[in-house]
Amino acid sequence: MIDRKRRGTALWAVFVFAFLLSLPVFAQPGRGLKIVDSRAVKVRGAVLQVDFAEGKLDEPDAVVRRIQSAASAIVAYYGSFPVKRVRILVVPVAGRSGVVQGTTWGDMAGFPGMTRLRIGEHTTDADLREDWTTTHELVHMGFPTLPDDQHWMEEGLAVYVEPLARVMSGELTAARVWHDMMRDMHQGQPGESDEGLDHTHSWGRTYWGGAMFCLVADVAIREQTHNRKGLQDALRAIVEHGGTIDHEWDMPKALAVGDAATGTHVLTEQYAKWKDKPVTVDLGALWAELGVKFDGDQVMLVANAPRASIRERITGERVQ
């Protein structure tokens, strides 16, 4: 989840107040919390400063290991970590277990990226091995901050990339990733009153509608490039051109950079079709083409499906 600093209105007093709140010294999340421990996590291209706010955690070392593995998954997908310096603020939540909630900001108090994680006091190493939130939040570092109407792209991208990054780093199996996508992707389909992704800001359309946009685009890019390029190449190019969370871009700029990297117009043309009107995807046909099908509670990956090679490239190969 991404939060943003807000600008003031035309009223002078409100403007001044809002301007002061937008300054890092006032707006920094966790300002006023006592930091009782700080660790440095190093990954390719970045240092993550992990600050622990006051409170009890049964296994703080396990939290650091989880942040390290999540950051490594981001490196596996992007080739290096998108921004050079990151602050991770860990806020213990008394009496709870698991990663309760995460929020990410750009350009915060001298850090290009900052993530706050609320983690339960009794969270175990086993709990953290099942955590997806930390990786989801760190994916946000690798895409520019967009206008509010395109918030679905930021969140949908994080939903889509998070499991792919984790399978590339060895945390998940490809079968697990396709199982979860097949189970949940339908939540992104438009409803009766849908007006397109830019105008329909429900939970399902924001998160899974955005993820569905990414999946359809990924498959289309690979089809048009004979499986030589994919969405991963587009996203890496956006980062290389400075499109990270600490920079504000509009959607056309981001997608144009991505399209140039793949030599296609998939992202720009798909956005033009999806932004202002509902587009329903025949997910059943897509899963069949990719060779993904349920066998009871399990997923079978069909090797001779028409687009099986595309499926395998999406989840099975690390592009360097």
Structure tokens at 254: 């981001």
The C-alpha atoms of residue 83 and residue 111 are separated, in whole angstroms, by 9
Q: Judge whether 246 and 112 are in contact, CB under 8 Å.
A: yes
Q: Which residues contact 258 (CB under 8 A, 6 or more apart)?
A: 231, 234, 235, 237, 238, 267
SS3 call for 299 = strand
Q: Over its length of 320 residues, how does the chain's per-residue pLDDT go in tens digits?
A: 765 443 333 444 444 444 444 444 445 677 789 999 999 999 998 999 999 999 999 999 999 999 999 999 999 999 999 999 999 999 999 999 999 999 999 999 899 999 999 999 999 999 999 999 999 999 999 999 999 999 999 999 999 999 999 999 999 999 999 999 999 999 999 999 999 999 999 999 999 999 999 999 999 999 999 999 999 999 999 999 999 999 999 999 999 999 999 999 999 999 999 999 999 999 999 999 999 999 888 999 999 999 999 999 999 843 33
The C-alpha atoms of residue 191 and residue 200 are separated, in whole angstroms, by 10
The C-alpha atoms of residue 102 and residue 118 are separated, in whole angstroms, by 6
Would the pTM count as exceeding 0.85?
A: yes
Q: Which residues contact 219 (CB under 8 A, 6 or more apart)?
A: 286, 290, 307, 310, 314
All structural domains of the chain, each given as residue ranges with its CATH number in brackets, are 33-142 (1.10.390.10), 148-316 (no CATH)
Q: Which residues contact 169 (CB under 8 A, 6 or more apart)?
A: 69, 72, 73, 75, 76
